[in-house]
Amino acid sequence: MTFVARMILETEKLAKSFGSLKVVDAVDLAAAPGEAVGIIGPNGAGKTTLFNLVTGTLKPDSGAVRLDGRDITKEPPHTRCIAGISRSFQIPHPFAKLTVFENLLVAATQRGGKKEREVAEECGDILARTGLLRAANRLGGSLTLLDRKRLELARALASRPRVILLDEIAGGLSEGECAALVETIGAIKSSGVTILWIEHIVRALTAIVDRLVVLNFGRKIADGKPREVIASAAVRETYMGIAA
């Protein structure tokens, strides 16, 4: 008897065009509970648009998004967040005039409908996990780039996600800062959260992810173990500009 692993998140033939430009072209993607999936591809490959379709900020032209087997394609972003999908953004946008701790309180209370005193301890734990406890009382607008990236992670975690989507969260960081962030993301993966991670810094991805997906002109051209995907001739030529 063959057992098929249950997928927590799936897209089926997901498609989106802007005018005549097909940005996401019939993409099938799946992630199992606790799995980390990296997504790479040239600029304009459709990676962030795919995330926007999964989180509901964009509506697909066709195809489906499922969470735990349930079709959520027509559900709005806040419903998907309550169901367990959270994300970070390429450019961090903290609430600049709120403290780091208050930024987390907003995220934690919005998802569960709880009062601030009910989530305060949980938010403190998340700050510790993401290396931000020392900055808890600093204003969001005063943070360094690394700490803004950490705050993106922390706010996403405060909504208690089962699936977290990371969009180029290591971009713009120094090598040491990137290594620190990778360590934090590794700890999140170890806690059982499913991760989908778009990133141009491939070494950061390969330190964490179980699988690597490659998009090009909106289409999925590879999906497999990171070492095998990176070694494939099609990926080397398309993504890295290295002819076979």
65 with 186, same domain: the answer is: yes
pLDDT digits (tens, 9 = 90+) for 133-178: 999 999 999 999 889 999 999 999 998 999 999 999 988 888 998 8
The residue among 160, 193, 214 that closes a domain is 160
Q: What is the mean pLDDT of residues 80-96?
A: 92
DSSP annotation of 203: H
When pLDDT is cut at 50, 70 and 90, the band that residue 241 belongs to is low
CA separation (Å) from 241 to 41, 201, 233, 238?
11, 16, 10, 6
Nearest alpha carbon to residue 146 among 171, 168, 104, 177: 177
Report how far residue 192's alpha carbon sits from residue 34's, in angstroms, rounded to the nearest whole number. 5
Query: What's the number of CA atoms in the CB half-sphere (13 Å) around residue 192?
Result: 3
List the domain range (segments joined by +) for residue 8: 1-84+162-244
Shared-domain flag, residues 154 and 166: no
Same domain for 201 and 223, yes or no, is: yes
- pLDDT of 95 over the 90 cut: yes
Q: What is the pLDDT of residue 125?
A: 93
When pLDDT is averaged across residues 62-74 and rounded to a whole number, the result is 97
When comparing pLDDT for 44 and 239, which is higher?
A: 44
Q: Concatenated DSSP letters for 101-147?
A: HHHHHHHHHHHH---HHHHHHHHHHHHHHTT-GGGTTSBGGG--HHH
**If residue 62 lies in a helix (H) or strand (E), which one and from where to where?**
strand 62-67
Does 62 score more than 60 pLDDT? yes
With tokens 């997928």, the residue in question is 7
> 133 and 177, same structural domain?
no
Q: What is the CATH number of the domain that holds 52?
A: 3.40.50.300
Q: How far apart are CA 233 and CA 242, in angstroms?
A: 8
Do 140 and 152 sit in the same domain of this protein?
yes
Mean pLDDT of the chain: 91
Answer with the one of 104, 128, 160 that is the final residue of a domain.
160
**pLDDT tens digits, one per residue of 183-237:** 989 999 999 999 999 998 988 999 999 999 999 999 999 999 999 998 888 888 7
Considering the domain architecture, whether residues 150 and 195 belong to the same structural domain is answered as no
Residue 243 has pLDDT above 80, yes or no: no
Our count of domains for the chain comes to 2
Q: State if pTM tops 0.85.
A: yes
The candidate with the shortest Cα–Cα distance to 169, out of 186, 150, 188, is 150
